[in-house]
Copies of this chain bind each other. A is one copy, B any other.
Amino acid sequence: MKIIEGGVCAVEGILAGGSRKGKYGLGILYTGKSTATAVFTSNNIKAEPLKLTMKNLKDGKLSAIIANSGNANCFTGPEGMEDAQRMVELAAEGLSIPEDRVAVASTGVIGRKMPMNIIEPLTQKVLGNLENSPRGSRRFAEAIMTTDTFPKEFAVEFKLEDGSTARIGGVAKGSGMIAPNMATMLSFITTDVKASPSQLKEALRTAVDETFNMLIVDGDESTNDMVILAATGKSGKIDDNFQEALNLTCKELAKMIAKDGEGATKYMEVKVLNAKSQKDAKRAARAVAGSTLVKTALFGADPNWGRIIAAIGYSGAAIKEEKISIILEGENRKIDLIRAGEIIASGDSEELKIARDLMKEDKIRIIIDLATGEYTAKAYGCDLTYDYVKINAEYTT
């Protein structure tokens, strides 16, 4: 597997472009005659573009995605649905494709009418700059940013079992309000493998469960999240190698989102080992990564394992105090905090000194061995900082 340049445009035949005006952005992705699938937010309130995309993707056929930032087009009723429909029409007309092969996505403030007077000219502009190039992918990635501080792209080339070379490319936007089951997160992934919609669905669900759904910024879950996977079918057949490459793509995009959490200064991975069940492993990892007390301790560079223990305890995972081990891992070193229930890093111990120093690094991995079974899970998160409060206290309606 080889990491390559080009984002979504690393895949042959994919055209991308984007443009911004003030706080609004618009991106278009042309995928030709591709098969596709999507995963949507589990929030009971879904934005209008999601409802329309769900309908248009039912047959598993996709030719284009149009996405905007700055306005979520959520809780906007029939008028919002008309605006989403209008965006689909604009893309379909411009690209000479059927409307029901267009997906539409939005991200931004909830409950405001779409500024179609800005969206329409932006769409026309972007229709004129679509290209199969790293620049096209980058423009798209930048167009869908909201409080993101950098565009998120990833692409990989790999061999299928039948010997053919295949590619996967993706873009994402995220930042705040990310929680299990995806929140204010958009990701669009392209590939050239040959696959039926149901094969793609299975593959995307598997990848999302382990990656985007294990990503926690603030525990809130948005009304607008979606991940779309589109396959052009120009390379070989979908197989396990594809799954592995897709998992990697989703994981790398999820990590970029965690690193770019609103106001975040530190990135955290929580790895749970030897849990009694897969569910236990996941909920323990998520509870620790999502704990505001762990997140503030991370910000304060405090190896406060008591808060980690408390979060494991309330996660609901089966535990035995005397079996738990907790290890902190930094760039080039790791240190035991708890070893099989025994407190290692405390008082004047050398371990606590090292742990305090290690916590100053900007990427921290917390490894938790529950020693009650054989299941593993990872969660991705970040610290909770003054700037998170600032960004979210000042982001006005």
A residues near B (Cβ < 8 Å) are 42-46, 72, 74-75, 77, 109-112, 176-177, 179, 183, 218-223, 290-293, 296-297, 299-300, 302-307, 309-319, 321-322, 341, 343, 346, 352, 384-386, 388-390, 392-397
Contacts and interface: CB of A to CB of B under 8 A. Distances in A.
Contact of A223 (B221, B310, B346, B384): B310
A343 B42 CA distance: 23
Nearest to A311: B220
Contact of A313 (B223, B318, B352): B223
A392 B292 contact: yes
Contact of A314 (B43, B291, B306, B310): B43
A34 to B, nearest CB: 30
Contacts of A395: 300, 302, 304
Given A385-B389, A393-B299, A306 B74 contact: yes
A394 to B, nearest CB: 6
Given A223-B309, A314-B43, A322 B77 contact: yes
A360 to B, nearest CB: 13
B293 A177 contact: yes
A103 B45 CA distance: 47
B384 A309 contact: no
Nearest to A109: B306
B220 A307 contact: yes
From A221, A305, A312, name the one whose CB has the most chain B CB atoms within 10 angstroms: A221
B43 A313 contact: yes
A389 B299 contact: yes
A304 to B, nearest CB: 5
Contacts of A292: 218-220, 292, 392
A337 to B, nearest CB: 9
A45 B310 contact: yes
A324 to B, nearest CB: 9
